[in-house]
Amino acid sequence: MLGRILTPGFFEAIGPDGRRYPAWPGECTETANALPDDFGPNSDYAGTIELRLPVRSGVLILDGVMTNAAGWEWRF
């Protein structure tokens, strides 16, 4: 299920102005570099989630409320 949560639709940004902005999928990441859709137990994975945001700085949040995956935050 993790691979379905880590998709652009579950990310938002909080800009310097405090407003929330939706994240849109990017179009430049090669398929070979993207994260897989399915994850196995006790495995290591590396990949890219490309997001387009309308702000240059702020906090990126994972807002997977429907999947109980909310609460992760990263400053950018």
Burial of 13 (0-12, 13-18, 19+ CB in 10 A): buried
Q: Report how many domains make up the chain.
A: 1
Q: Residue 58: which domain range? A: 2-75
- Share of residues in the chain with pLDDT > 70 (%): 84
Separation between Cα atoms, residue 65 and residue 43, nearest integer Å: 25
With 0.85 as the threshold, say if the pTM is over it.
Answer: no
Half-sphere exposure of 22 (CA within 13 A, CB side): 6
Residues 38-73 have pLDDT tens digits of 778 898 888 888 899 999 999 999 876 655 666 789
